[in-house]
């Protein structure tokens, strides 16, 4: 990807530092590709279990990664992590299929892990400049938009993430008034996570999703929101 096809983040200061969690995943790697081609980016840090041992289920690895970056201020944080299935268990179709171990793993990965990322990385934001934190959520995590039921563990873990994002935005606004935090639905993206369930939904490539997400959030001014990749608001 070259600079003519990348999405440039004009709202952040030139030379800004970006951190992407889940950089080896489909959406995470696509976001990294766009940021590498953005002439405004001064430093891009790619974090994942495969690249450097970052494990959202292991807080010391998150704390250690943040500590390594503590000498320089951060302006963009993207948490592009999450799981839909655990140990080949498909999403539940009814209450009868709930497995407490599977549900716990969903919550640890989709909600608790991102909460720990916020705990250790958001204090690195520059208090003087605009900064953005994006946490990949899912429209299916909307309580108000739930009209089909099912997928109980995944839905509820993403709903928990949305609450974490909203609550965190309130706290951070007191010390970082220019910070913007959002839960973002990326759409149905052609990745390993969604491929088995994408036959009935229009899909986009990871690169298209990444471009839309970065463009929409570059224009975002309100913190603590739940939005789709195109910038439209999703009800909680």
In our burial notation (b when 16+ CB lie closer than 10 A, e otherwise), range 217-230 reads bbebeebbbbbbbe
The predicted structure's pLDDT at residue 193: 63
pLDDT in tens, 25-58: 999 999 999 999 999 999 999 999 988 889 999 9
**DSSP bridge partners of 185:** 228
Looking at domain 16-228, which CATH architecture does it have? 3-Layer(aba) Sandwich (3.40)
Helix (H, G, I), strand (E, B) or coil at 17: strand
Percent of the chain residues past pLDDT 90, beyond the cut: 86
**DSSP bridge partners of 76:** 18, 132
Q: What does pTM read for this prediction?
A: 0.93
pLDDT in tens, 97-109: 999 999 999 999 9
**The two structure tokens encoding residue 125:** 């934001």
DSSP assignment, residue 183? E
Asked if residues 48 and 22 have their Cβ atoms less than 8 Å apart, the reply is: yes
pLDDT in tens, 176-230: 999 999 999 999 888 766 666 666 667 889 999 999 999 999 999 999 999 999 9
């Amino acid at each position: 990807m070259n600079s003519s096809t990348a999405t440039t983040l004009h709202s952040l200061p030139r030379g800004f530092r970006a951190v992407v969690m889940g950089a080896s995943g489909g959406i995470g790697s696509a976001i990294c590709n766009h940021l590498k081609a953005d002439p405004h980016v001064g430093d891009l840090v790619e974090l994942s279990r495969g690249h450097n041992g970052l494990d959202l289920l292991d807080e010391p690895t998150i704390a250690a990664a943040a500590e390594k970056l503590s000498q320089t201020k951060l302006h963009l944080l993207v948490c592009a992590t999450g799981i839909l299935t655990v140990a080949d268990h498909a999403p539940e179709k009814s209450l009868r299929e709930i497995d407490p171990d599977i549900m716990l793993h969903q919550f640890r990965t989709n909600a608790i892990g991102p909460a720990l990322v916020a705990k250790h990385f958001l204090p690195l934001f520059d208090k003087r400049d605009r900064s953005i934190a994006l946490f990949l959520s899912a429209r299916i995590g909307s309580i108000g938009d739930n009209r089909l039921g099912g997928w109980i563990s995944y839905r509820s873990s993403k709903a928990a993430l949305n609450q974490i994002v909203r609550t965190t935005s309130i706290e951070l606004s007191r010390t970082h008034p220019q910070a913007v935090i959002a839960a973002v639905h990326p759409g149905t993206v052609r990745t390993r996570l969604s491929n088995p369930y994408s036959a009935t939904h229009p899909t986009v490539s990871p690169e298209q999703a990444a471009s839309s997400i970065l463009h929409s959030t570059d224009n975002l001014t309100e913190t603590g929101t739940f939005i789709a990749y195109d910038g439209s608001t999703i009800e909680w």
